[in-house]
Each structure stands twice: as C-alpha cells, then as structure tokens.
Structure 1
Amino acid sequence: MLDSTAKRLLVVLAVLALAVGGSAAVPAGQALVVEDAETGEVLLTQHVSENTTVSVEYNHSVEKTRVLDEYTVRNGELEMTRMEFESYGWGLPARADVHKENGSYAFDPEGSWEELYVKPGHVAGHKLHVGERTYDLVALSDARTVRLSVTNQSVLDAALH
C-alpha cells in the first residue's frame, strides 16, 4: 500500500501529465516554419497570425539590385501579395501589370502556396522578414534550400518555441 505522501505525489504527477497533454492539443494559432528542404530539420518557428506579412528580400544576381517578394498569411497559406524590384532582369516579370512606386517597380501577382522553397545565396544575401522581425536566411540555413510553410501551433508548441 502507498502512504499518503506517495498518493499525493501520484495525484500531482497525474494532474501534471493531463495539463501537459491538454496543452499539446489546444490550438494557440499559426506559425511560420522554416525547414531545411533536404533533411526536414526545423530551423525557425515564428508565430504568425492571419494577415501577417512574410517577405523574402534579396539582391538580383545579374542586376545587383534589390528584389522583394511579399506574401500574406491567409487561411494557412502564403498568398503572394506584392513584388518589388529596382530594375528589369532575368526572371523578373516583363509582361506583368507593373507600376512605378518610390523609384521601384511593383505589382500584385496572383498565387497562394501551402509551401515555398527558397535557395538562399551568399551573393544574393537573402533575408526573411516575418512581421517586424528580420532573419538572415543565408546564415540560418547555411545557404541550403529551405521550405517555408504555415502550420497550426498548439499552446505547448508555442511555449517551447
């Protein structure tokens, strides 16, 4: 038989187990997850909410000018909402409905993705902007291809990150 101290300890452990298990099931919101595309290793988890802006900024490899691809978190996906670039070059939209804004070209492209793949490069100097935060995507990934996606996050996930 267990004495009263052992019984109390078992009750405390049971309550703790239920609390941890329950928090793992309670949704806390959404998170942007950056993973190594080859290994699946999670490199960054950042809380996001609906309409959070997520941008990838880099220098065009040929033109050596700034390019910004902007996405908005909507319904668990990344919807491309803006592209800015300073000069036309290979891979940039030559036939899009582009307008001039503050010395840059800008347009609102169509498309929404569950996941995006980005190959950060030292020359391009890729940066990731999540809301007001900025991350050096090259350093974060060691210049390896990354996968960006939006996932649902539990209270426990949010507490651990």
Structure 2
Amino acid sequence: MSRRVWLAVVLAVAVVCVGGVAATGAATQPVLVVSEDGNDLLVTPVDNGTEVTVEYTHSVEKTLVSDVYAVDGDRLTMTRMEFSSYGAGLPSTVPVTEINDRYVYYPPERHYDPLRITTGYVADHDLVVGDRRYDLVDIADGGTVEISVETRLRIPQW
C-alpha cells in the first residue's frame, strides 16, 4: 500500500470516529470527582439529579448519619440529613421529620462546589453515588478530600 493510500485510510478512519462522537453528542459527560490536593482519587459518571450520600458514624453518639446531596448541574445541592440521635454537630433546634426511626432534616437550599470532607477511621466515611458504594476513608487515606461535579471528555467504549 502506498504512503498516500495509507494516509487517506487513516484520515478517513479519524473523520468517521470524530464524526461518530460528535453525532451522538457524547463528547463530554458529567462526572463526580473526589480529589486531594488536585489529584483525582475517584472519577465516576453521574447524571443531573443523581443522589450522592456521605455516610459516617457520629463520633459521640455512635449512630449513622447520612448527608444526602443531588447533582445539580456542576455542583452538589444538599437535599437532606438523616440521623438516629441528637448529638454535637447535629441539628437540634430545627424542624425534623421522623421516618423509619430516623430523624430527617430538610435544610434550606445549600450548594457546594466543591464539597470538602475530612474523613476519619472512627467515623468510617462512605460515599454512595447512585447505587455504588465507595469506602471514602480508604480512598482518602484518612485525609481531607474535595468532591465536585465536572464535565469531562467521554472515553468511548469500543
């Protein structure tokens, strides 16, 4: 095969691949990024409205606390906090609803970009993204992480 024919074939394949990505509108995708000092520790695809939960054990009460957020464009919006007992740092002077033996607090609209979490081995932080669970303490090695929503190039699955 001559060099010209080979270059023409390569160019044609490149045009088809790029055109295929552009035609599907799939060039970018929103992702949830867990990072520390600018280094990505976890990147996972999300959609607008995906529920993102940070779960941990309250250090004094030793009960489960769930901070629930929703992907809202390029940020996270806190939708509720669920807890089983009152203790330091938990809402005690605001209206709560009791659901399944847990207190549920619906805060005023609050947005995070990024959300900063200081993880700990005692609290045993987990991150739940949709139906996927991640050990946040293990990912962060017990440190502080930033959780953000970004738009990144989609990697084609060929």
TM-score normalised over the length of structure 2: 0.86
Native 8 Å contact 1:32 1:47 kept in 2: yes
Q: Distance in 1 between matches of 2:53 and 2:127?
A: 6
Compute the displacement of 1:23 (Å).
Answer: 5.1
Q: Give the aligned length.
A: 154
Write the mapping of 1:28-39 to structure 2, written as runs, cut at 5 A: 28-36=28-36, 38=37
Q: For residues 28-85 of structure 1, what are the alpha-carbon distances to aligned partners after superposition, in whole Å with 9 as ceiling and x for unaligned?
A: 331101111x2x1101111100110000000001111100000011122101001001
Higher RCO (CA-CA < 8 Å; seq separation 6+)? 1
TM-score normalised over the length of structure 1: 0.84
> Is the counterpart of residue 95 in structure 1 residue 93 in structure 2?
yes
Native 8 Å contact 1:23 1:155 kept in 2: no
Where structure 2 has 5 or more consecutive residues not aligned to the other structure, the ranges are none
**Runs of 4+ more than 3 Å apart:** 12-28
Structure 1 residue aligned with 2:149: 150
Structure 2 residue aligned with 1:131: 130
Q: For residue 138 of structure 1, give the secondary structure of its aligned residue in structure 2.
A: helix
Native 8 Å contact 1:68 1:85 kept in 2: yes
Where structure 1 has 5 or more consecutive residues not aligned to the other structure, the ranges are none
Q: Using the aligned pairs only, state the percent identity.
A: 42
C-alpha RMSD of matched pairs (Å):
2.4
Q: Distance in 2 between matches of 1:45 and 1:5?
A: 43
Structure 1 residue aligned with 2:107: 109
